[in-house]
Amino acid sequence: MARDMENKHVVVLGAGFGGLTFCQTFNHPQTRVTLVDRQNHHLFQPLLYQVATAGLSAPEIAQPIRSILSDRLDVTVLLDTAVDFDLADKKVYLEKSALNYDYLVLALGGVTTYFGHPEWEQFAPGLKSLDDALRIRRRVLLAFENAECEASAAGRDRLMTMIVVGGGPTGVELAGAFAELARHVLKSDFRRIDPAQARIVLIEAAPWILAHLPAELSGRAQRQLELMGVEVRTNTRVQDITRSRVELEHGQVLDAENIIWAAGVSASPLTQKLGVDLDRAGRVKVNPDLGLPGHPEVFAIGDMALVLDEGGKPVPGVSPAAMQMARHVARIVLNELAVGPEQAARPPFRYWDKGTMATIGRSAAVAKIGKLEFNGFSAWVAWLFVHLIFLIGFRNKLAVLLQWAYSYFAYKRGARIVTGLSEEKATPSP
C-alpha cells in the first residue's frame, strides 16, 4: 500500500506520435510526468510534404505541445534536448538540467540518414522537421523566381529541375506534389518561363517504388506519377551528390537546383548512448514488452525501437505503430503502479496493421487495408479521411479541410510564401 502512495516520476523524451500518445493515455493520481521535446510543437509528420510543396502553412500541421496537454496538470512540458543517460542512477541529462526518473519512455523518433555520406546533406536536405519543410518550400519557389530572371537556357533548365531521391511514401508524395505545383498551380503565373516544362525526377535504387506495397499497386502508383509528368527511375543508384548535381552509378549526371533526400531514416543518434544492442538503423533491440534489455523501467517506442511483428518482420516506422506501442507501455506502467512490479505481468507488444497508403496527387492515391487494395480516387478519399481523423486539434482539422477544398477546386496553393529570404541569401549559390 505504501508503495502505491509514493510519488513516482515518469520522464518521456519526444512529443511525436509515440510520446504524446503515452502522455494522453497514461494518467495516474500519484505520478508526475515530464515530457521533453526540443521543439515547442507536436508535428503531424504525414502531412509535412504538403508544407514543403506550399500546400499548407506550417501552423496548420503543428500544435503547441503545451496547448494539447494544458488540462493535464500532472504533466510538465519542457523545451529542452536530451544529451545523455545514467541508466544505473535512473537519470537523464538535458541541455539545461537533469531529471531523475522512475520510468523512462524513449520516443525520440528518427533522423534523415545518408548511408555513410553525411556530406550529401548540405546539397540534398531531408524532410523531418518544419524547418526542413520551410527550407525546401523556399528553395523550390525561389528556383522558379530565379528561372524567370535567368538569361541562359542551361541555367533555366537547372533551376527548373528537381530531383527526389528515394521512392518510399515521402519521395512519391513529394514528387507528385511538385509535379502538380509546376504543371497546375504555377501554370499562368510566369511570363518568360513555362513552369509546366519543369522536370521532376524520382530516383529509386530498388526495382520498384513503394516497395512495401504489392507489386500491382506499386506499378499503378508509378504509372500515375508518370501521367503527371514525373520521370520515375527505378533500379537507379546514386553515386555522388554535389551542389545542384547528382551523379548516377553508370556515370550519368543530372543537374538540378533542388535535390531532396527521401531515401533513408535511422533512429535518433542518442540510442548510441544507451549501451544496448542496436540494429543497423540505430534502433534499440527492445524486449517483446518494449522494455530495454537489463532495464525494465526504460522503454523505447516508435521509430527508435526494433520490434518484430507476429510474422517475424520488423514493425514499420509509421505513426499507428508508435501510438500502439505508446498505449502498450502506458498499460504496463499503470499496471505496475497498481500491483507492484513483482506482481505485474508484462505481455508482449502486438502490432495491429491498419493498412498502408500513399497519395500521389490531386485525387490519386494507393492504399492497402487488410486484404483490400485500392487505387485512384477511392484511395485518395480514403487517404484524405484517415489523415483528417488523425490530425490532432479541432482548429487544424477545419483549417486543413478548407485549405484542401480550396486547393482542390481552385487549383491554387495558399502557402506559396517565401520567408527567410535574407537567410537564404547568406548561403552561397552556384
Residues 6+ apart with CB under 8 A from 279: 285, 306
| CA atoms of 424 and 290, how far apart (whole Å) | 43
Q: Which helix (H) or strand (E) holds 102?
A: none
Structure letter (DSSP) for residue 244: T
Q: How far is the CB of 379 from a second copy (least distance, A)?
A: 27
| CA atoms of 44 and 395, how far apart (whole Å) | 13
User: Which C-beta is closer to a second copy: that of 134 or that of 136?
Assistant: 134
Residue matched to cell numbers 509515440: 18
Q: How far is the CB of 392 from a second copy (least distance, A)?
A: 13
Count of Cβ atoms closer than 10 Å to residue 86 Cβ: 12
| CA atoms of 83 and 394, how far apart (whole Å) | 34
User: Which C-beta is closer to a second copy: that of 67 or that of 272?
Assistant: 67
Q: Which residues of this chain interact with a second copy, rule CB under 8 A?
A: 38-41, 57-60, 62, 64, 66-67, 70-71, 73, 75-80, 96-97, 130-131, 134, 141-142, 145-146, 148-149, 151, 186, 188-192, 395-396, 398-399, 402-403, 406, 410, 412, 414-423
Q: How far is the CB of 75 from a second copy (least distance, A)?
A: 8
Q: Residues with catalytic annotation?
A: 173
Q: How far is the CB of 11 from a second copy (least distance, A)?
A: 14
User: Which C-beta is closer to a second copy: that of 9 or that of 327?
Assistant: 9
Q: How far is the CB of 386 from a second copy (least distance, A)?
A: 23
User: Which C-beta is closer to a second copy: that of 43 or that of 179?
Assistant: 43
Residues 6+ apart with CB under 8 A from 343: none
Q: How far is the CB of 133 from a second copy (least distance, A)?
A: 9
CB 32 within 8 A of CB 9: yes
CB 106 within 8 A of CB 282: no
User: Which C-beta is closer to a second copy: that of 193 or that of 284?
Assistant: 193
| CA atoms of 123 and 24, how far apart (whole Å) | 39
CB 242 within 8 A of CB 257: no
CB 10 within 8 A of CB 31: yes
Region for residue 190 given its phi and psi (left: phi exceeds 0; alpha: psi -120 to 50; beta: otherwise) = beta
User: Which C-beta is closer to a second copy: that of 145 or that of 279?
Assistant: 145
Residue matched to cell numbers 508482449: 348
